Amino acid sequence: MNSFSPPSSLGPVDAVIAALRALLGDRLSTNDAIRQQHGRGEDTTTPTLPDAVAFAKTTAEVSEILRLCHQHEVPVTPFGAGTSLEGHVNPVRAGITLDLSHMTGILEVNAEDMDCLIEPGVTRQQLNEFLRDQGLFFPVDPGSVCTIGGMCATRASGTNAVRYGTIRENVLGLEVVLADGRVIHTGGRTRKGANGYDLTRLFIGSEGTLGVITRIRLRLHGIPEATSAAVCQFPTLADAVNSVITVMQLGIPVARIELLDEVQMAACIAYSKLEGYAPVPTLFLEFHGTEAGVTEQASAVEAITADHNGSGFAWAREAETRNRLWKARHDAYWAGIAYRPGKRGITTDVCVPISRLAEALLGAKADIEASGFEAPIVGHVGDGNFHTIILVEENNADEMERAWALDRKIVQRALDLGGTCSGEHGIGLGKREFLETEHGMEAIAVMRSLKTTLDPKGILNPGKMFRN
C-alpha cells in the first residue's frame, strides 16, 4: 500500500547543490532539521529526506533550479506548506525539495473583474485577509493552513465547494515552469474561452509531476449581502445523511453543508470548546445571498431536517460565533488527532454520487465499528465527499496493517458505488493503486504519456500518482 523505492538520486546531486548555493545563498539548505521538516506532510507515510531544500523567491529562480536539476537528472519535489495527507511532498528519491512558501506576493487584485494574481506560497487565509476591505473573498477552503499553489497542485476543495466549486473552477490561468526550466502562461483573464487546449486544468491536480506553478490568477467572489450559519443535530447518522441528500436533490443553493458524526463531534467539542452541542451526528450549515434569499433557503432546509428528526437550528448569527463554528469545522482533522493523544490519522477521502451517499457513509461507519478502530467521520457531504480519520499508533505494524485494510475497504465500496478514491486530497503515494482501478489502465497509459512528454527525464515529483 504505502511502500516506495528507497532514496537514490538519479544523478549527481552535489553539482546541483553547489550551483544552487551560488544562486540562492543561504536559501539553499542541507541542514538536517530543515531536511527533516521536508520529509513528509501530515500523513502516516514513512518520511524520506531530500539532499537539500531550495527556497525560491522568483519565477526566474524556479526556472534556473529546474534547468539545473533537469540537466543533471536530479529529482525535484515541490513543497508548499507541507499539509499533504497522501505523501505528495515526500522526496522518495531524494534530490532537491523546492520550497515555494516564500513566494507570497499578491501581485494584482482587480476588484471590478473579481480576479487576482498571486504567487503560489500565499495561503487562503492571507489572501482573504488581504481582500476583506474590498468586499471580495476566495471561497476554496481546505481544512488546513495550506498554500494556494499546493491547492492548485492537488485540485483542492473544501466546505464552500458545494456552492462555489473547487479550485478547478476558480483558477483563470497559471504561470508554470516546465521540467526543463521553460516558463509558460496558461488561460487568461476572461471567464471563459474556447481558445486551445486547457493547459490550466491539465496542471491543476497534476501534483507537481508535470510542472511547478509559480503564479496563479484566481477568480474571486463578492462577499454575500447576507450570511447565516446554523447547526442541526440528529439522533442517527442516517437522519443526517438523508437530510443532506434531500437538500441537494431539491437544488437548494446552500453555501456549506458539512456533516460530523458523533465521534468527530465529541472530538470537536473537546478540541474547540464548542459549548451547547451534544456529541451526536451534526450538520453545520451556511447560507449566502440576499437577506430574503438566506431566510428562504434556511427555512426550506430547516423543514427538511425536521422531517428527518433534526433538532431545530441553533443559529450562529453573529460573525464571531460563525467564525468560531467554522474554525472548529476546519480544525476537525486536528481535533480528531487530538482525541487520542499520541496517535496519527489515516485519512480516507472518498466521494460518491449524492444518491449513494447514505450507502457509502453508513457502510464506512459499519466497517469502522466492526474494525474496532476509532475513526471520526467528517465531510463535505453536499458534494458526496467525506473523510474518515482512522486513529492509529504509527509504530504498531499490526495496527497499521489493519488500518490500511479498513482504508481499502472504505475506498473500494465507494468505487463500487460509482465514486472516486479521492474527492480532494489527491493521489500522491497513498492512492496510486486505486487510481488504476478507478480509471482503467488505458486511461492511466494516457496520463503516463502526458507525464513522459512534459517531463521526459522523470525529475518532477517522481514516484507520485503512478506506481512505477
Residues 320-349 that bind a second copy (CB under 8 A): 349
Give, in order, the Cα–Cα distances in Å from 331 to each of 44, 348, 354.
18, 17, 25
- Tell me which residues in 348-377 interact with a second copy (CB under 8 A): 349, 351-355
Among 208, 426, 430, 463, which residue interacts with a second copy (rule: CB under 8 A)? 426
Q: Does 424 bind a second copy (CB under 8 A)?
A: yes
Identity of residue 82: G
In DSSP notation, 219-232 reads: E-EEPPSEEEEEEE
CB of 363 to a second copy, least distance (A): 16
Does an H or E element contain 334, and which? helix 332-338
For the chain, what is the largest distance between any 2 Cα atoms, rounded to a whole number of angstroms? 68
Distance of alpha carbon 190 from the chain centroid: 26
Exposed, middle or buried, 447 (CB in 10 Å: 0-12/13-18/19+)? middle
- Nearest distance from residue 21's CB to a second copy, in Å? 29
Nearer to a second copy, 28 or 176 (CB): 176
Q: Which helix (H) or strand (E) holds 286?
A: strand 282-289
Q: Which of 110, 125, 323, 396 binds a second copy (CB under 8 A)?
A: 110
Taking the C-alpha atoms of residue 304 and residue 249, their distance in angstroms, rounded to an integer, is: 11
- Select 160 or 272, whichever has its Cβ closest to a second copy: 160
Cβ nearer to a second copy, comparing 338 with 417: 417
Residue span 427-466 as binding mask against a second copy, x where in contact by CB under 8 A, dash where not: x---x---x--xxx-xxx-xx-xx-xxx----------x-
Ranges within 34-93 binding a second copy (CB under 8 A): none
Q: CB-wise, 327 or 467, nearer to a second copy?
A: 467
The verdict on 467 binding a second copy (CB under 8 A) reads no
Angle among Cα 257, 158, 223 to the nearest 5 degrees reads: 75
Rounded CA separation 185/177 (Å) = 9
Q: Is residue 199 involved in binding a second copy (CB under 8 A)?
A: yes
If binding is defined by CB under 8 A, does position 149 make contact with a second copy? no
- Cα(175)–Cα(185) distance, rounded to whole angstroms? 5
Considering the rule CB under 8 A, would residue 132 count as an interface residue with a second copy?
Answer: no
Residue number with CB closer to a second copy (176 or 403): 176
State the nearest-atom distance from the C-beta of 137 to a second copy, in Å. 11
Amino acid at 74: V
Q: Between 180 and 394, whose beta carbon lies closer to a second copy?
A: 180
Give 51 or 86: the residue with its C-beta nearer to a second copy: 86
Segment lying near a second copy (by CB under 8 A), choices 236-244, 371-379, 388-396, 425-433: 425-433
Q: Is residue 299 within the footprint of a second copy (CB under 8 A)?
A: no
Contacts of 318 by beta carbon, 8 Å cutoff, 6+ apart: none
State yes or no: residue 418 binds a second copy (CB under 8 A). yes
The DSSP element (H or E) to which 65 belongs, if any, is: helix 59-72
